[in-house]
Structure 1
Amino acid sequence: MDKESSKKVRERGIAIGTLHTGRKNCITDVPGVSVGHVTLDYPLEGEEYACTGVTAILPHGGNLFKEKVVAASYVLNGFGKTTGLVQVNELGVIESPIMLTNTFGVPAVSQGTLEYILQENPEIGDTTGTVNIVVGECNDGNLNSIRQFPVEPKHAIEAIENASTDRSQEGAVGAGKGMVCFGYKGGIGSASRIILDEENNREYIMGCMVLSNFGGKVEFPFDRYPGMKPQIDGIEKVTDGSIIIILATDMPLSDRQLLRVAKRCGIGLGRSGSHFSHSSGDIVIAFSTKNKIPHESEEVFQTHSYIREDHPIMNQLFAGAAESTEEAILNSLSQAVTTKGRNGLIVESMFS
C-alpha cells in the first residue's frame, strides 16, 4: 500500500470534533469487537474484473447465536438490499456476524455466514429455531463485474475466520475494494471516541466502521477539510451510491437507546457532504456489547442496567456517533489506494 494513501486523516492534520479517540481510532477499540476482510482483485474474461470483497464485523469473540448482543438499525434512505434488519428491530438483538459486501454478493454472503453458524450450532433448525443473518451492501458496479458474481459463500466464511481485534485495515479492502466515494476511491473507514463518565471515573468506547460508496465529486466540502485537497480530479459517478454505517459501544444501552444514538450518525454523514440521495442506501446498524442475551434461559425475567435517559453522558454518545461517523468516512477516503477495475476504469485515490 502506498505510504501516503495509507494515512488516517489525523496524520494529515485534520481532527474531527472534540472527543478523544480510542487507542487504535478504530471500531476494534470496543473490547471484543473484531473485523475480518477478504479482498478479491483479479481479471476475469475480456474486460471483466473482480474488484470486490467481504468484510465481517463480530460483536464479540464467542458464539453470537448463543450470546446475542443488544442492537438496533436506522434507515436514513432505504435504497438498499440488506438482510436481517426487520428482525433486529423487532427483537432488539443481533445473533450473527455483521457482514458487508457488494449488492449482488448478498445471497452468497448470507449463505456462507449461515453455513458458518450452522457448523457452530447444530441445533439450529432442528431442536431450536432459525438464525437471523445480517448483511449490508453497496453497489460497486463501477469497478467490479457484479454480474459475474465473484463473491462466493466461502469468502464470507474466510472473512469471519480472519477477524481480529487488531486495528482493521481500511480503504480499498474487503467489501470496500470496489467502492467509490465523492468520485474518488472510497471503501472501509473507521474511527472511535472515548465516552467519559466523570462521576464514576469510568471510560466507555464508541467505535464506527463505514462502507463508503456515495456522493459526486462536486459535493465533497473541501473547504471544510483544508488538508484533503486532491491531486487529481475524481470521476463522475453513474449512480448516487450508498453507505453502511456500523456503530459499536460497550456502554450499556437498550435497543431503543441505540436507535436514538444511531440517528446521530446521519449528522456525521451530512457533514461529510451527503444529502442522502434518492438512490442511496444509507443505513446504520448499532449494537452494544455490554448486556449479552442468552439464547436459552429458564428465567421468566432478565434484568439489565442501562444509562438514564436524562444523564449528560447521553449527549456525549450523540456527539460520539456524529464525530466518529464523519471521521470514519474521511478515513475511508484518506486510506484508499488508486484502483483499477472492469473496462479498464481507474478510480484514483484522493491522495495519489
Structure 2
Amino acid sequence: MTATTPRARDLGLGTGTLPTGSHNAITDVPGIRVGHTTVTAPPRVHSGVTAILPEGIGPRAPLPAGFFAGNGYGKFIGTTQLTELGELETPLLLTSTLSAFRVADALVGWVLEQPGAEAVRSLNPVVGECNDGLLSDIRSRPVGEDHVRAALASANTGPVAEGCVGAGTGMSALNFKAGIGTSSRVLPLTGREATLGALVLANFGGTLRLGSRTVTPADLGLPVPPPLPDTGSCVVVLATDAPLDARRLTRLARRAVFALARTGASYSHGSGDYGLALTTARTTAPLVPDADLDPLFTAALDAVEEAVLNSLLAATTTTGPRGDVRHGLPAAHLLRLLNG
C-alpha cells in the first residue's frame, strides 16, 4: 500500500454499514501490532513474513483464541494445541509454505529470549502459510531467522502495509495479484463498544465477485492467465477487544472463512482456508452472550470481504521465475467497468 494506492473504501466499494476504525486495519484493535519483512530477488524470489503481535502475549500470558479449518489442505503449525486449549501463547506469523518450518523455529528462539521466559520448557509457536510457488522459487525457502526477527521488531500499531509485502509478496487470488489486506469495524455490544479487525493473506482460487457481478482479467482488458489447478490458500486472522472465550472465538473464526465466499472463493480440494480469531481482552468482564454475537459476526463478514478487496487493489503486477504473471487489480479500469 502506498499513499497513492486507493483502497476499496476510497472507490465506494466498502462493505456493510458499520463504521471502520481510524486506520481501517487490524491495528485498530487496542494492543495489536503488525510488522512485515519482504524478501525479493526478482524474478526468482517474491516472498516474506508477516507478524501479528498482540501486546504482552507469551507462554505465561496466553490469549483466548479459536481456530477453524474450512478446508485443511495446509500446514498451519501449532493449531492442534491451540484448538485443544483455546489459547494463543506466541505472536502469529504468516509466510510461504516451505519457509513455515524455519519461521516457526525462529519464533521459538525469539520467544525464549523474552523477559519472563527464562524458565519456559515448552511453547506452541503458531505459523500460518500459503503457497507462493507460482510467483516465487518456493523450494529455495528464502525466509529465515533474521527476516522473522525484523518483522517482529518492526511491528507497530499504525496503518498496515497491504498487497505485495511480507507474507503476501508472492501471493495471488481470484486470477489477480493479491497478498496482504486488512480492514476493521467498530460495533455496538450490550453495554459497550467493541472493535474487530481482520487481516487476510489472500492466495486462493475462484472468480472475483463484487456483489452480484463477477470480474475477470479479460473484463479489465488484462491478459488472461493460463488455466492452472484451482489450488491456493487463504489465512484470515480476526482480532477483537470484545470479551470472548475460545468457544465463541471459534464461532467467530468460522465466519472469517465463510466471508471468502462473498469475494468468489472456490474452496477447492487443494486450498487451505483457515480462520483464527483472538481477543485482546484481559478482563473479568462478563463474556458476550451467544445471543449477542450477531454484531461481531456481521463485522467479521464485512471486514474480511473488504480486506480481500484491499489486498487486490494494493498489489502490483508480478512476474515469477518461470514467466508466470499475475496482474494487480487496476482501480481505474475497475471503476469504468462497474460504472459502464
TM-score where L is the length of structure 2: 0.90
Alignment of 1:90-239 (within 5 A): 90-121=84-115, 123=117, 127-197=119-189, 200=191, 202-216=192-206, 219-222=207-210, 224=212, 230-235=220-225, 236-239=227-230
User: Whole-Å Cα distance in 1 between the matches of residues 195 and 57 of structure 2?
Assistant: 22
Residues 112-152 of structure 1: per-residue CA shift (max 9 Å, x gap):
1111111115755xx44311000000000001101111111
Match of 1:72 in 2: 66
Distance change in 2, residues 1:329/1:174 (3 Å): same
Match of 1:310 among 269, 291, 308: 291
Aligned residue number for residue 39 of structure 2: 40
Equivalent AA in structure 2 for residue 230 of structure 1 = L
Question: Which residue in the other structure is 2:269 paired with?
Answer: 278
The whole-number CA distance in structure 1 between the counterparts of 2:309 and 2:28 is 18
The question of whether the paired residues in 2 share the 8 Å contact of 1:139 and 1:241 is answered with yes
Give, as a single letter, the amino acid of the residue that structure 1 aligns with 2:18.
Answer: L
- The answer on whether the counterparts of 2:36 and 2:151 sit within 8 Å (CA) in structure 1 is yes
1:343 Cα offset (Å):
2.2
Segment drifting more, 49-58 vs 149-158: 149-158
Kindly, what percent of the aligned residue pairs are identical? 38
CA RMSD of aligned residues (A): 2.1
- Per-residue deviation, residues 306-348 of structure 1 (Å, max 9, x unmatched): 112223xx11011111111111111110111112321233321
Q: 1:63 to 1:257 in 2, by over 3 A?
A: closer
Distance in 1 of aligned mates of 2:74 and 2:215? 32
1:49 equivalent in alignment to 2:28: no
Q: How does 1:270-349 map to 2 (within 5 A)?
A: 270-291=261-282, 305-311=286-292, 314-349=293-328
- For 1:57, the aligned partner's letter is I
Q: What secondary structure, in the 3-state scheme, does the structure 2 residue paired with 1:115 have? A: helix
Query: 1: distance between equivalents of 2:101 and 2:304?
Result: 27
Residues 80-109 of structure 1 deviation map (CA, whole Å, 9 limit, x = unaligned):
101011111111111111000000011110
Selected match of 1:269 from 248, 260, 269: 260
Q: Go from structure 1 to structure 2 and tell me whether the alpha carbon gap of 1:192 and 1:225 turns closer, same or farther (over 3 Å shift).
A: farther
Whether the aligned pair in 1 keeps the contact of 2:253 and 2:276 (CA below 8 Å) is yes
Gaps of 5+ in 2: 332-340
Q: Secondary structure at the match of 1:120?
A: coil
| Aligned-partner Cα distance in 2 for 1:2–1:238 | 32
Q: Kindly tell me the number of residue pairs found equivalent between the two proteins.
A: 328
Q: Name structure 1 gaps, 5 residues minimum.
A: 293-302
How far apart are residue 203 of structure 1 and its match?
Answer: 1.6
CA 1:251/1:145 → structure 2, altered by over 3 Å: closer, same or farther?
same
Do the aligned residues in 2 keep the contact of 1:57 with 1:98 (CA within 8 Å)?
yes
Q: Is the 8 A contact 2:35 2:152 kept in 1?
A: yes
Structure number with the higher helix fraction is 2
Residue 224 of structure 1 aligns to which amino acid in structure 2?
Answer: S
**Distance apart, 1:3 and its partner CA:** 6.2
2:53 aligned partner, one-letter code: L
* Displacement after TM superposition at 1:23 (Å): 1.2
Distance in 1 between residues matched to 2:276 and 2:29, nearest whole Å: 15
SS in 2 for 1:241: strand
Q: Evaluate the alpha carbon distance shift between residue 144 and residue 227 of structure 1 in structure 2; reply closer, same or farther with a 3 A threshold.
A: closer
Give the distance between the partners of 1:231 and 1:65, measured in 2 at CA: 51
| Structure 2 residue 26 is the aligned partner of structure 1 residue 27 | yes
Q: Distance in 1 between matches of 2:162 and 2:27?
A: 12
CA contact (8 A) 1:268 1:323 kept: yes
Deviation at 1:234, TM superposition (A): 4.5
Contact 1:25-1:192 within 8 A present in 2 as well: yes
Contact 1:109 1:153 survives alignment (8 Å): yes
